[in-house]
């Protein structure tokens, strides 16, 4: 029966389906080899370690993780019967989220790449749920590139040998096919778009890497969220098989990744990453070889393939919590890969190649809307013309906006040329810059919603005009390091608070702090090492940043900063550090260049910018021990899961020091509020520090305990809130 079917397919195949007869023959052989497992193969058991993570990728490619969940499972795939996954270990870390990623998924691995249809790897609903209750848009079922009906959905090219693998038993040439979907508007299926590596001798799938695309009429589209204006969402996958016992290609590594951008949120890309590694395969072989019956073949052609129900169960909570057989440290699987791995498959709006493209998506939200006590409401528009393949790497952009209370225009223009690993650029801009110190890359730089609805604007501002050129070099890869040099001119002008309070709620705004006005020639250098391991990220590792800037002219100063940050996981123990040091010098120091500490973000427990100086040191360290109990996530309501209580002990030390070491610094601190005879900020007079002791809940998503200053006699006070830092 099978030879007749294949003969009919070859006779009917249209030439455009395959780029050459050799490719057609290769695909035909792969269709036979991957239609079903070998007859004697009855199933397998294996151990699987999976890591879920939520990340933000900035416009430079740096990634910060806000939530990581790690699971250990045993799996049992029985041919034609079921795929059973048993979760035997679970642990997680979070910086404030009280929702588990288990709320979104039920299954997260594929047992094999055989059959007529494929799923993404991450299943959003269990197969056992009644069909009438399943929102079909959440199920991603794709036609297998080697299905019997593949010619209706795909086009094939390539077929070249890309590598030769050597094992103890044989030499394996690997050939690569490029598979492109060819979906009709009426289809209800998804399709795979990417590369497939094949064992050239046995035609078995070694690796699939690409994305799932969904087309069809409006009523049949699965991802309705992708129709939201300004929203771009892509589902990527990478499946890697290993040859087991020299006979069977079975799962070894699987990665599913969902990347999303939304125009109003700027160039940030939200990423949900799922990485699984299989090990310890135990093969089950049938006593007698399974033969393919005509009934099975017809069922496969009808679309059933060899898909089997997926069942996920959990071991008892105590057993899950005490699991110690982890192969990888928490966060390692997430940090081993990056979102840029799929750039060659990215949608047009993200690609660096193609025709010239004009985009109105902002690089950051503040460029199109913000609110603060100086400008009031600011609204603007940003346009970027990316020449892409027309002039590779060239981007020209502009930002134009209006501050409604201030009645003033702000914005500018920029141009850049990228030639990896170098980027050359220039910009001219009038901006409302903040004078706050040590702002993390993903933290806000203006009052925003807090100023609008709570009258809380913990920033001070300067009206700054800048014209500068820049040169940036990537040190191997973005996650390894960046180096930037800027040369230009600046002009600082004083600003004042034009609003007394926000639109709704809160008290009154404080005055904007004073500055010294003047023009200057400007030089800025930055060096970042391992930026993904920054202080606000859960990814393990140690990173560093060095910043230097200097001005010469009416304003004359020099300023240097050093930052060290990172995290390390040792089983149930976590250590985190974020430390900064800085110095500013000059014969006349502008007050806007002083370092300032105090408030919720820098040295909590003291008032807003209570301390200032020309020398500064700031240390924020934490140590955590998470008890091996109550780690399993819990169903709160229907499909909503919250992390397990996951209690832990926490010790946090936050300390800071400033000094006013020169006459220039003491004069500058008095100019922060020129209308007052008493300076509004002062030196710390020693090291000011706060010690916090307490407990964390939900794997660090919340904390409570007690804290007290340790630089002077004071009592303990209760503290609590989201996040894990005291």
> Which DSSP string do the residues of 589-644 spell out, in sequence order?
--GGGSEEE-SSSSSTTS-TT-EEESEEEEEEEEEEEE-SSS-S-EEEETTEEE--
213-225 pLDDT tens trace? 875 544 334 344 4
pLDDT of residue 717: 86
**Whether the predicted pLDDT of 306 surpasses 90:** no
Strands 611-613 and 595-597, by their bridges, are: antiparallel
Can you say how many angstroms the Cα of residue 328 is from the centroid of all Cα atoms in its chain? Answer: 20
If one counts every other C-beta atom within 10 angstroms of the C-beta of residue 184, the result is 11
pLDDT of residue 188: 62
* Angstrom distances, CA of residue 20 to CA of 23, 46, 207: 5, 39, 22
Give dist(CA 713, CA 709) in Å, integer: 7
Give every CB contact of residue 483 below 8 A, 6+ residues apart in sequence. 472, 473, 475, 525, 526, 527, 528
**Backbone dihedral region for residue 719 (phi beyond 0: left; psi -120 to 50: alpha; all else: beta):** beta
Give dist(CA 113, CA 119) in Å, integer: 10
pLDDT of residue 121: 62
Peptide bond into 681 cis (omega under 30): no
649-661 pLDDT tens trace? 999 888 999 999 9
pLDDT of residue 215: 56
* Angstrom distances, CA of residue 658 to CA of 59, 102, 648, 686: 33, 46, 33, 8
546-599 pLDDT tens trace? 999 999 999 999 999 999 998 999 989 999 999 999 999 999 999 999 999 988
Give the residue from 102, 69, 71 showing the smallest Cα distance to 85: 71
The mean of the pLDDT values for the chain is 86
Question: What residue spans of 302-367 are helical by DSSP H?
Answer: 317-321, 332-335
State the average pLDDT over residues 133-155.
Answer: 75
At 307, the pLDDT band (50, 70, 90 cuts) reads: low
Give dist(CA 313, CA 82) in Å, integer: 13
386-444 pLDDT tens trace? 999 999 999 999 999 999 999 999 999 999 999 989 999 999 999 999 999 988 766 78
Strands 141-143 and 190-199, by their bridges, are: parallel
At 83, the pLDDT band (50, 70, 90 cuts) reads: very high
* Angstrom distances, CA of residue 283 to CA of 46, 72, 155, 276: 9, 20, 35, 19
The structure tokens listed for 89 are: 């270990």
Q: Return the C-alpha torsion angle 341, 216, 260, 92, nearest 10.
A: -80
On whether the CB atoms of residues 29 and 203 are closer than 8 A, the answer is: yes
Give every CB contact of residue 67 below 8 A, 6+ residues apart in sequence. 52, 53, 54, 92, 93, 94, 95, 97, 101, 538
154-157: list long-range contacts, CB under 8 Å, 24+ apart.
154/17, 154/179, 154/180, 154/181, 154/182, 154/191, 155/16, 155/17, 155/18, 155/179, 155/180, 155/181, 155/182, 156/17, 156/18, 156/19, 156/23, 156/24, 156/27, 156/180, 157/18, 157/19, 157/23
Bridge partner list, 243 = 249
Residue 449 is given by DSSP the state H
- Identify the residue with better confidence: 450 or 26: 26
pLDDT of residue 401: 96
Give dist(CA 175, CA 158) in Å, integer: 8
pLDDT of residue 347: 87
- Identify the residue with better confidence: 599 or 605: 599
**Whether the predicted pLDDT of 28 surpasses 80:** yes
186-213 pLDDT tens trace? 556 788 999 999 999 999 999 999 998 8
The structure tokens listed for 481 are: 């390091």
**Whether the predicted pLDDT of 95 surpasses 70:** yes
106-116 pLDDT tens trace? 788 989 999 88
Give dist(CA 187, CA 184) in Å, integer: 6
659-683 pLDDT tens trace? 999 999 999 999 999 888 889 999 9
Q: Return the C-alpha torsion angle 361, 362, 363, 368, nearest 10.
A: -170
pLDDT of residue 321: 92
pLDDT of residue 137: 44
> Considering Cα of 293, then 299, then 304, then 305, what sign does the dihedral take?
positive
pLDDT of residue 299: 41
The structure tokens listed for 565 are: 């940050």
Can you say how many angstroms the Cα of residue 406 is from the centroid of all Cα atoms in its chain? Answer: 36
The structure tokens listed for 503 are: 């639109």
In the chain, what are the helix, strand and coil shares in percent, each to the nearest 5? 15, 50, 40
Strands 376-386 and 369-372, by their bridges, are: antiparallel
On whether the CB atoms of residues 147 and 297 are closer than 8 A, the answer is: no
On whether the CB atoms of residues 64 and 55 are closer than 8 A, the answer is: yes
The pTM of this model reads 0.86
Give every CB contact of residue 82 below 8 A, 6+ residues apart in sequence. 308, 309, 310, 311
pLDDT of residue 8: 40
Helix (H, G, I), strand (E, B) or coil at 450: helix
251-298 pLDDT tens trace? 999 999 999 988 777 778 999 999 999 999 999 988 665 554 433 443
* Angstrom distances, CA of residue 472 to CA of 417, 422, 527, 540: 10, 6, 10, 26
486-545 pLDDT tens trace? 999 999 999 999 999 998 877 889 999 999 999 999 999 999 999 888 766 888 999 999
3-state secondary structure 362-409: CCCHHHCEEEECCCEEEEEEEEEEECCCCCCCEEEEEEEEEECCCCEE
**Whether the predicted pLDDT of 706 surpasses 50:** yes
**Whether the predicted pLDDT of 123 surpasses 70:** no
């Amino acid at each position: 029966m099978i030879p007749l079917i294949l003969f009919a397919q070859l006779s009917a195949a249209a030439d455009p389906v395959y780029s050459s007869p050799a490719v057609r023959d290769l695909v035909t052989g792969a269709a036979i080899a991957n239609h079903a497992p070998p007859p004697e193969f009855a199933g397998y058991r294996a151990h699987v370690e999976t890591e879920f993570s939520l990340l933000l990728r900035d416009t430079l490619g740096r990634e910060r993780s806000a939530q990581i969940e790690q699971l250990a499972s045993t799996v049992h795939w029985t041919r034609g019967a079921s795929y059973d996954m048993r979760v035997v270990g679970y642990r997680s870390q979070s910086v404030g989220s009280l929702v588990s990623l288990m709320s979104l998924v039920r299954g997260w691995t594929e047992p094999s790449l055989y059959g007529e249809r494929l799923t993404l790897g991450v299943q959003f609903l269990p197969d056992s749920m009644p069909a009438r209750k399943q929102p079909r848009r959440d199920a991603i079922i794709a036609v297998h590139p080697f299905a019997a009906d593949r010619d209706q959905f795909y086009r094939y090219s390539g077929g070249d040998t890309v590598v030769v693998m050597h094992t103890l038993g044989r030499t394996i040439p690997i050939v690569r096919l490029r598979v492109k979907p060819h979906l009709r508007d009426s289809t209800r299926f998804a399709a795979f778009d990417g590369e497939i590596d094949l064992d050239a001798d046995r035609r078995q799938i070694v690796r699939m890497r690409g994305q799932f695309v969904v087309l069809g009429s409006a009523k049949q589209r699965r991802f309705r969220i992708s129709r939201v204006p300004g929203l771009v969402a892509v589902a990527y996958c990478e499946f890697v098989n290993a040859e087991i016992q020299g006979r069977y290609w079975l799962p070894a590594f699987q990665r599913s990744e969902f990347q999303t951008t939304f125009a109003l949120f700027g160039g940030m890309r939200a990423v949900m990453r799922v990485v699984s590694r299989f090990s310890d395969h135990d093969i089950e072989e049938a006593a007698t070889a399974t033969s393919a019956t005509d009934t099975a073949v017809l069922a496969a052609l009808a679309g059933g393939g060899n898909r089997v129900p997926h069942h996920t169960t959990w071991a008892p909570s105590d057993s899950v919590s005490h699991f110690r057989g982890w192969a990888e440290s928490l966060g390692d699987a997430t940090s081993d890969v990056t979102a840029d791995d799929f750039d060659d498959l990215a949608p047009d709006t993200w690609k660096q190649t193609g025709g010239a493209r004009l985009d109105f998506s902002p690089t950051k939200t503040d460029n199109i809307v913000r609110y603060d006590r100086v400008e009031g409401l600011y609204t603007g528009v940003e346009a970027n013309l990316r020449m892409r393949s027309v002039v590779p790497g060239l981007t020209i952009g502009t930002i134009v906006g209006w501050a409604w209370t201030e009645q003033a225009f702000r914005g500018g223009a920029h141009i850049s040329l990228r030639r990896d690993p170098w980027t050359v650029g220039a910009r001219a801009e009038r901006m409302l810059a903040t004078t706050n110190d040590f702002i993390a890359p993903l933290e806000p730089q203006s009052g925003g919603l807090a100023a609008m609805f709570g009258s809380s604007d913990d920033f001070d501002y300067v009206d700054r005009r800048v014209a500068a050129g820049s040169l940036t070099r990537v040190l191997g890869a973005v996650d390894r390091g960046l180096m930037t040099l800027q040369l230009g001119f600046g002009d600082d002008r004083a600003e004042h608070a034009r609003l007394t309070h926000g639109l709704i709620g809160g008290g009154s705004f404080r005055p904007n702090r004073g500055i010294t006005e003047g023009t200057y020639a400007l030089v800025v250098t930055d060096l970042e090492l391992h930026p993904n391991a920054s202080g606000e990220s859960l990814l393990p590792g140690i990173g560093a940043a060095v910043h230097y800037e200097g001005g010469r002219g009416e304003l004359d100063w020099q300023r240097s900063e050093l930052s060290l940050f990172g995290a390390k996981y040792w089983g149930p123990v976590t250590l985190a550090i974020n430390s900064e040091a800085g110095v500013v010098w000059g014969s006349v120091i502008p007050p806007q260049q002083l370092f300032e500490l105090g408030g919720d973000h820098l040295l909590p427990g003291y008032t807003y910018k209570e301390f200032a100086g020309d020398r500064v040191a700031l240390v924020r360290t934490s140590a955590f021990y998470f008890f091996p109990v109550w780690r399993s996530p819990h169903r709160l309501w229907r499909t909503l899961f919250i992390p397990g209580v996951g209690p832990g002990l926490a010790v946090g030390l936050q300390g800071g020091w400033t000094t006013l070491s020169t006459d220039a610094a003491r004069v500058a601190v008095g100019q922060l509020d020129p209308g007052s005879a008493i300076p509004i900020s002062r030196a710390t007079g020693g090291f000011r520090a706060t010690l916090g002791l307490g407990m964390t809940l939900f794997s660090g998503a919340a904390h409570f305990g007690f804290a007290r200053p340790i630089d002077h006699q004071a009592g303990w006070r209760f503290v609590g809130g989201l996040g894990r830092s005291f």
